[in-house]
Amino acid sequence: AVASGPAEWNGVGATSDGHPVKVYGNVGSPADAKAAADAGAEGVGLFRTEFCYLDAPSEPSVEEQQSAYTAVLSPFRGKPVIVRTLDAGADKPLAFLSPEAEPNPALGVRGLRVAFDRPEVLDRQLAAIAGAAEESGAQVSVMAPMVATVEEAAWFAERVRAAGIARAGVMIEIPAAALSAREILEAVDFVSVGTNDLAQYTFAADRQLGAVAKLNDPWQPGLLRLLKLIGDAATATGKPAGVCGEAAADPRLALVLAGLGLTSLSMNAPAIRTVGATLAAVSLAEAGELAAAALGTADPAAARKAVADALAR
Ligand code: PEP
Ligand code: MG
């Protein structure tokens, strides 16, 4: 059924034997949110809040932010939404926040690192998110981008809770964080893997550079082995570990991710139904076999073939 591409999805993210794997949307604007809701997303696994800042000449006020966030959250009343705090820097510099020119912006003060010097900017954003949560009725969690250590994760979670937001998580997109996934999960409520950046930093290959795109293939066994550490940490701690990078939108890779122990998959709207339907056609044990087959290979082509062969059997 999987090989020929399943057509139907009942809207509840789960394997064929009923093991839940939530299927969420990635959104960055009210139009994205509507598209994700229309596609049947069970919630939002990644709300990129940058849009609200990138077009602004100066920091938007708490009121402006709150109304911008409410517009995105509104289609998800009663449903889970993970709001990511500002991920500025590197490819997304902000005139009023980002540091002077850095020799290596991708390795510089970006993501949560911006907040260490300017925590009041983070606190204003958290206040706006808390307000939008109440206004929209969505079940809001907050997560930070570009977290490297357990200490950073704990620092962020404390500020989120101080803002009156119940659930705090962090993205895992730096290899050091993947290697400490268990300890990080003990410090926060959930994690979500940004496979785009995790691949970039694991393979030391700029995600925007075509010349090294082959290294950033999400089927790279080296990346899958890091993802297994994160899935194992989720299983050991009983806390959620999702994937919100592009990897989650590939239906066969989605099966591998479920088999590795990841608990939710978040993607752009067009992929939602196909991924949901693909998951529903395979049991958790079968997904585990697919994951083991992919992990046992030496390169992305072999990993893809191992999974295709296993599905054909
Ligand atoms: C990622 O890095 O995989 C991710 C989801 O975040 P962004 O693409 O916004 O960096
Ligand atoms: Mg990222």
Q: What is the pLDDT of residue 92?
A: 80
Q: Which runs of consecutive H residues, i.e. helices, occur in the chain? A: 30-38, 50-54, 62-73, 113-117, 119-136, 150-162, 175-179, 181-187, 195-202, 221-237, 251-259, 272-280, 284-295, 300-312
**Inter-residue contact 255 to 5 (CB < 8 Å):** no
The chain-wide mean pLDDT, for the chain, equals 95
**pLDDT band of 98, cuts 50, 70, 90:** low
Q: What is the pLDDT of residue 3?
A: 45
Tell me the CA–centroid distance for residue 128 and ligand 2, in Å: 22
Helices 300-312/284-295 angle, 10° precision:
150
Q: What is the pLDDT of residue 93?
A: 80
Tell me the CA–centroid distance for residue 196 and ligand 2, in Å: 6
pTM recorded for the entire structure: 0.96
Give the atom of ligand 1 at the shortest distance from the alpha carbon of 145: 6
pLDDT tens figures, 260-292: 999 999 999 999 999 999 999 999 999 999 999
Q: Average pLDDT in the 113-133 region?
A: 97
Question: Is there an atom of ligand 1 within 6 Å of 272 CB?
Answer: no
Nearest to 28 by CA among 53, 55, 14, 46: 46
Question: Is there an atom of ligand 1 within 6 Å of 111 CB?
Answer: no
Q: Average pLDDT in the 212-240 region?
A: 98
Tell me the CA–centroid distance for residue 195 and ligand 1, in Å: 7
Tell me the CA–centroid distance for residue 231 and ligand 2, in Å: 19
101 vs 254 pLDDT, higher one? 254
